[in-house]
A and B are shown apart, each in its own frame.
Chain A
Amino acid sequence: MAVNAQAVSSEASATRPRREREQELLVWPDLVFVEFIAAMVFTFMFVLLSTMLDAPLLNQANLDITPNPSKAAWYLVALQELLLHMHPALGGVIAPTIGLAIIGAFPYIDRSNDGQGTWFGTPNAVKIILFSGAFASIFTVALILYDQGRHVNVITNVVQRSDKDWQWPGKLAPFQNVRSIQTGWEWSIPVPVSAQLGPGEHDGELNWPDDFTHVPMPFNGTSGPDWMRWGPPTFLPAWMQAMYWYDLNMNTPAFVVELFIPVAIMVILPVIMILMMRKLGWIHTMRDGSIGIFTGMMAVYFILTIIGAGFRGAGQDLVMPWDVPHID
């Protein structure tokens, strides 16, 4: 039996109208010459560039001398920038991998054929691009400035004009940057002594961040109340014991600062952005939403690259581009 190969392709692609011959050009010369000219133009441009601008070559590699700052290649600087604000596995690997997966998934999310082959394609595309680009850029810059504690400097400078001795109040310590939620904030909740978790003082209080760094996972052997302590699973073969959660504590303050808050921000901000544009009546289709998300991702990558490459000085401190030390 003959198999109809067309039957497996989607209906949308099968209904494509036949091309009209009068709208067609011959590849030779109309395309091949354009390609040839483009290749020539770029060859000349790059030969010219290469005669004028030399590729950098610093001193011989030496692992004993660490340049400050040491930076990744420019297209990875965005990830290096993320590392400053979140857990290294999240910033350097998980978030970019998910980002790449989302980019790869666009055709499977936006499956309609509308607007294909035309720039922007939907009526609101340009508005969506401008809005999501601005939204992503502004929030990226604002979040970096916040995590760098720049608002503390600004507010302190302003207030010190009227009150010379003013300091950032202790009560607001956790709001200097994200990390200070872990380091600059102390509070406790009273609990029955019998339910006291953690290896610290069993004083009837759970203290942030001391006691919360030892929230035991189930079947924990070393900390936590008696009812949670189990002996090591000796009945299992040794290799299975090695995979067991026994003796594992969760560092809650670090988890909140390094994983929970960054993930929440990376999920909630795009959702808010999309909802705002829906409220504005700009987003009607998956294509509209995809344009918003894609533009936002590109804008974040671009801003992170600019800041990482141009504004990070010694110790990855946020400085102006002319203050970034020259490495040789």
Chain B
Amino acid sequence: MAVSEQPPGPGLTNWLSEKLFHNYIWRSIFRSGYPSTPRNQMLVVATNVFLHLHPTRLHKTHVRITHTYCLGGITFFFFLSLTVTGVMLMFYYVPAADRAFQDVAALETNIRFGMLMRNLHRWMAHGMVISVFLHMMRVFYTGSYKPPREFNWLVGVILLTLTLALSFTGYLLPWDQLSIWAVTVGMNMAGTVPVMGQQQQLLLLGGFEVGDAALIRFYTLHVIGLPLIAAIFMAVHFWRIRRDGGLARPL
């Protein structure tokens, strides 16, 4: 896309910005010029795959912090950060009953920044559950589920469930007394589902108690299955915000 620019004014900064942001390589990557003019600011949002989740303009109430408290954004930020720290943890972790605990213990003692990564992953996971709850309460109390956003609220409820499932499957992975018993308690609850309970429990555990088979199932769900499903629903969630006219605001 050809973008016409005003000629640069005099001065060193203008010369520098011209050299840095208006050259052939920059243009090949970003298409638009440096976002210093309204035109470029809109173009950068519209032509960037990540930024184009946003509209190019929005109503001024939407940037007021008390309108949203950024809670949905913070939840998404937690999801991204958890992906990064989770990938780091995957380098050192083998989901086998005889290794998992040692691997996690080694993260804490033998691996540089291993403890920090594990702590970050743990606390951000709790943070994500909390921010998802708070986001739901924000959306409810601001009446933002009202037409035409009914379906997006439903997608949000599914994402809440997925967040809990992600957290629950991750809970088992350290393979310590806390994790195995928390999951045993949780799975016993799942086992009481009328009609399907036992089968569902068997499906998730791969056996009659929390063991090797359960660990590999929880691991697979935690690192690829559920994140993939959550990412799909997130894409729908964000897409629908745009389609339904942006954030809710007084009519």
Contact = CB atoms under 8 A, between A and B. Distances in A.
Contacts of A54: 108, 115, 119
Interface string A22-33: 011111111110
Contacts of B188: 88, 92
A107 B245 contact: no
A250 interface: no
A47 B63 contact: no
Contact of A35 (B70, B137, B140, B193): B70
A154 interface: no
A57 B74 contact: no
Interface stretch (B8-16, B17-25, B147-155, B216-224): B147-155
Given A49-B123, A50-B123, A93-B190, A58 B178 contact: yes
Contact of B144 (A35, A59, A116): A116
A108 B250 CA distance: 20
B127 interface: yes
B213 interface: no
B177 A107 contact: no
A318 interface: no
Contacts of B210: 61, 63
B62 to A, nearest CB: 7
Contact of B142 (A56, A75, A118, A298): A118
A60 interface: yes
Interface stretch (A64-72, A184-192, A232-240): A64-72
Contacts of B116: 47, 50-51
Contacts of A291: 140-141
Contacts of B233: none
A170 interface: no
A113 B147 contact: yes
A39 B161 CA distance: 24
Contact of A27 (B56, B108, B140, B178): B56
A104 B155 CA distance: 9
Contacts of B141: 119-121, 125, 129, 291
B221 to A, nearest CB: 15
Interface stretch (A11-19, A144-152, A157-165, A205-213): A11-19
A253 B123 CA distance: 45
A79 interface: yes
Interface in B174-221: 174-182, 184-186, 188-190, 192-194, 197, 209-211
Given A23-B60, A76-B189, 14 more contacts: A9-B148, A38-B70, A55-B119, A62-B177, A63-B180, A67-B177, A73-B186, A103-B157, A107-B145, A107-B150, A114-B143, A116-B143, A116-B144, A118-B142
Nearest 7 Cβ contacts at the A-B interface: A92-B189, A50-B119, A107-B150, A61-B180, A55-B122, A117-B248, A117-B249
20 contacts: A13-B147, A25-B57, A26-B57, A35-B73, A42-B77, A55-B118, A58-B177, A61-B175, A62-B180, A63-B180, A70-B181, A75-B167, A89-B192, A89-B194, A100-B161, A108-B150, A112-B146, A117-B247, A117-B248, A287-B143
Interface of A: 9-10, 12-13, 16-17, 19, 21, 23-32, 34-35, 38-39, 42-43, 46-47, 49-51, 53-63, 65-67, 70-76, 79-80, 83, 87-89, 92-94, 100, 103-104, 106-108, 110-121, 125, 129, 287, 291, 294, 298, 327-328
